[in-house]
Chain A
Amino acid sequence: MSDNILEIRDLTVGFRTEQGPVEILKGVSFDVKAGEIVSVVGESGSGKSMTSLAVMRLITDPNAMISGTIRYKGRNLPGLSAREMRKLRGRQIAMIFQDPMTALTPVHTIGWQIAEQMRVHLGLGAKVARKRSVELLGKMGIPDPERAYDRYPHHLSGGMRQRAMIAMAISCDPAILIADEPTTALDVTVQAQILDLLQDLRREYGSSIILITHDMGVVSTIADRVLVMYSGRIIEHGAKSDLLDKPQHPYTLGLMRSIPPMTGERPRRLPSIPGSPPLPGKRPEGCSFRPRCEFSFSKCSAVPPLYRCNEQFAACFLAEHGSHQWQRNLAEERTAK
């Protein structure tokens, strides 16, 4: 009955360390619909990459403790055998890594690596695979793709390498593409091209995309829905327009206000969130945003669940009654000043 292609419930990831166990992700739950672009934003260390590695079953650290369910088209990924998972990975669910060298090996040409992916997963013959690889490289805006096919990753600039990895990730038209900061290292002119490509992938093949980014501009350009993470939890999620226009969680609000505007008056001072995000071992009790939150009150010593406010959800006691009252008060207070 559901059109969810991916359903994640209570995903919790921790590590045994010398200082005792450290929880990195705590009870992460979310859905991805077919053909949807979901953006994941949040501060560094909040667990964005860890979430995607868990979905790909690529957390290899023997000290890792992972629980929760990750259902892809109804099948629970953590329950699959290593062999079944290998068949899915790269074919059904593909990933673009924060660092391209995680996905590319230095010992083969980029063209060979892309072709190999298609030979293994799609059973293509060598000739066809080569032809399709060259086409893909061309589609990525790589000049002279015939020649680029025979080049090794270390011969390419960062931007080219990133595009080669994207070509590899989308070579088998995956149902889900997880893109971890795919454009962070790139110039904005190249970034714009890559964002076009991701949108083409969705349009042509109906792929779902999970896009991890710290750039709200990127979010506003291509996302349908947004998840905001803080300290290993999802603290707010909702449709892009709702979330960007009326953030319900004080962290999301602070994040939006901290971004210097590209248009209109330049503020004399940028609004900013005081302090810095806590390290995983040192997260405070209760609401983990509390030490930085200008609205914190007595209730906040407990962990806030996700409350519904209209169509979006926020893990904050201010949203308990689903109202925007506190925001309205804030707005009035600001105009009065």
Chain B
Amino acid sequence: MRILNEVSLDVYEGETLGLVGESGSGKSTLGRTLLRLYDADSGKIEFDNLDISTKNRRELRPLRSKMQMIFQDPYSSLNPRRRIGDLIADPIRIHGHASEREIHVRLRELMDMVGLSHSFLTRYPHEFSGGQRQRIGIARAIALKPKFIVADEAVSALDVSVQAQVINLLMDLQDELGLTYLFIAHDLSVVRQISTRTAVMYLGGIVEIGMTDDVMHNPAHPYTAALISSVPSHDSIMSKSPRIKLQGDPPSPLMPPSGCRFHTRCPFATDKCAAEVPFPHDVGSGRSVACHFPIS
């Protein structure tokens, strides 16, 4: 089964690229493929001007420390029988060449960075709240001073009041450490808050990418427009654009529609859309849209 369909994507150093889209559209798959946790069938992935798509496991190892992932469910990604200190030190012990003394110092530094007490280091994951566990996951991800982090629904499971703390933390760490993020989330307001640019996926492809404010306030692809207009918003003062209703359900990735993959649900589809694949093209200000009739 083809999950990603000829995706081309640049992530700029120091930016946060938000990735949104229908459930099952391939966001997690894309994130994992970029980190080479999954192998692509074809295509090329460059990291720091280095082609990593052809490297084998051994060759990838030194690069692994530069690329990390933060997961949605902090609980299931932490081994319940190990102490927090060991969990965070693991990547350092595997990849780094640090002495136990250096690790001791580094662990305390990391706890300070993510705003947790040093006393937590000797305790176990089940003793912590969701927000604290997510901080532990973040400490683990930044332990090796990575350059690039894929955050896959990293704040989605958190309560709103705690979610804001973790978003702030991720933004602070980015400033401090010069991190680059690929930030996958289904909550558009969270993506708007954290992302420099935003990419929108539909059925295995990126249908629109551009500066976050452009994409969110003047969507050019009909799917993006439908997505944004469906967000129930609590800032009621602003007049909302009328909702664009989509017909039916997303088609199965096993049998993607011909031409534009969105044509079976697009309110603006014409005969051309069913026949010809729309390739991504530049529509100005660094925005790229894959649609024959983008909204202007």
Chain B 90-138 interface residues, beta-carbon cutoff 8 Å to A? 129-132
- A320 at the A/B interface (Cβ < 8 Å)? no
Q: Which residues of B contact A43 (CB under 8 A)?
A: 159-161
Stretch of B4-12, B78-86, B230-238, B286-294 on the interface side: B230-238
- Verify if B270 is at the interface (C-beta below 8 Å from A): no
The 7 sampled A-B contact pairs (Cβ below 8 Å) are A221-B232, A244-B236, A255-B160, A259-B160, A259-B234, A270-B193, A273-B164
| Minimum Cβ distance to chain A for residue B123 (Å) | 15
Chain B: CB-nearest residue to A292: B161
Given known A189-B226, A276-B131, contact A217–B167 (CB-CB < 8 A): no
Within 8 A of B (CB), among A234-264: 244, 251, 254-256, 258-264
Q: Which residues of B contact A214 (CB under 8 A)?
A: 159-160
> Which residues of chain A from 182 to 241 have any CB-CB distance to chain B below 8 Å in the complex?
186-189, 191-193, 195, 214-221
Chain B residues touching A, range: 35 or more
Interface of A with B (CB < 8 Å)? 43-44, 141-143, 157-160, 186-189, 191-193, 195, 214-221, 244, 251, 254-256, 258-264, 266-267, 269-274, 276-277, 279
Query: Assuming the A-B contacts A221-B232, A262-B192, A262-B235, are A189 and B22 also in contact, with contact meaning beta carbons closer than 8 angstroms in the complex?
Result: yes
* Contact call B167/A260, Cβ cutoff below 8 A: yes
Give Cα A220 to B231, complex, Å. 11
Shortest distance between the CB of A259 and any CB in chain B (Å): 6
Question: Is B218 positioned at the interface, with any CB of A under 8 Å from its CB?
Answer: no
Q: State whether B232 touches A191 (Cβ < 8 A).
A: yes
The interface residues of chain A lying within 8 Å CB-to-CB of B227 are: 188-189
Give the distance to chain A from B148, nearest Cβ to Cβ, in Å. 23
Q: Are A263 and B230 in contact (CB under 8 A)?
A: no
Stretch with Cβ within 8 A of A (4 or more), from B30-38, B66-74, B243-251, B271-279: B243-251
Chain A residues with CB under 8 A of B230: 188-189, 191-192
The answer to whether A188 touches B192, judged by C-beta atoms less than 8 angstroms apart, is no
Q: How far is the CA of A269 from the CA of B47 in the complex (A)?
A: 30
Known: A157-B24, A263-B238. 13 other contacts (CB 8 A): A44-B130, A141-B249, A188-B230, A216-B234, A217-B189, A258-B164, A259-B160, A260-B164, A262-B192, A262-B235, A266-B192, A270-B167, A277-B161
Q: Which B residues are within 8 Å of any A CB, using their own CB?
A: 22-24, 129-132, 159-165, 167-168, 171, 186, 188-190, 192-193, 216, 226-227, 230-236, 238, 243, 245-246, 248-249
- A260 x B192 contact (CB < 8 A): yes
- Asked if A189 and B232 sit within 8 Å, CB to CB, the answer is no
A277 — which chain B residues lie within 8 A by C-beta?
A: 129, 159, 161
> Which A residue's beta carbon lies closest to that of B20?
A188
Nearest B residue to A188 via CB reads B230
Given contacts A159-B23, A276-B131, A276-B132, contact A258 B234 (CB under 8 A): no
Given A143-B248, A187-B23, A188-B188, check contact A270 B233 (CB 8 Å). Answer: no
Decide: A262 near B233, CB < 8 A? Known: A141-B248, A159-B249, A188-B188. Answer: yes
Give complex CA distance A193, B232 in Å: 11
Contacts of B192 in A (CB 8 A): 260-262, 266
Residues of A within 8 A of B190 (CB): 260
Among B22, B132, B193, B245, max chain A CB count under 10 A is at: B193
> Are A244 and B161 in contact, with the CB atoms below 8 A?
no
Q: Kindly list chain A residues whose C-beta atoms are within 8 Å of the C-beta of B165.
A: 272-274
Name the residue of chain B whose CB is nearest to the CB of A277. Answer: B159
* Closest chain B residue to A272, Cβ basis: B164
Q: Are A260 and B189 in contact (CB under 8 A)?
A: yes
Contacts of A258 in B (CB 8 A): 160-161, 163-164
Q: How far is the CA of A267 from the CA of B171 in the complex (A)?
A: 12
Contact, CB under 8 Å: A261 / B235: yes
Contact A262 B188 (CB under 8 A): yes
Highest count of chain B CB atoms <10 Å: which of A191, A195, A256, A261:
A261
- Least CB distance from B1 to A in Å reads 15
A218 and B168 contact, Cβ closer than 8 Å, known pairs A44-B130, A187-B186, A262-B189: no
A160-B249, A270-B168, A270-B193 known; A220 vs B130 contact (CB < 8 Å): no
Query: What's the minimum C-beta distance from A228 to chain B, rounded to whole angstroms?
Result: 12
CA–CA, A276 and B159, complex, Å: 9
Give the residue name and chain of the A residue nearest to B231 (CB).
A188
CB-nearest residue of chain A relative to B23?
A187
Kindly state the separation between the CA atoms of A216 and B189 in the bound complex, as whole angstroms.
12
Q: For residue B212, which residue of chain A has the nearest CB?
A: A266
Q: In the docked arrangement, what's the CA distance between A156 and B243, Å?
A: 26
If A220-B232, A221-B232, A276-B129 touch, does A260 touch B248 (CB 8 Å cutoff)? Answer: no
CB-contact partner of B161 in A157, A260, A272, under 8 A? A272
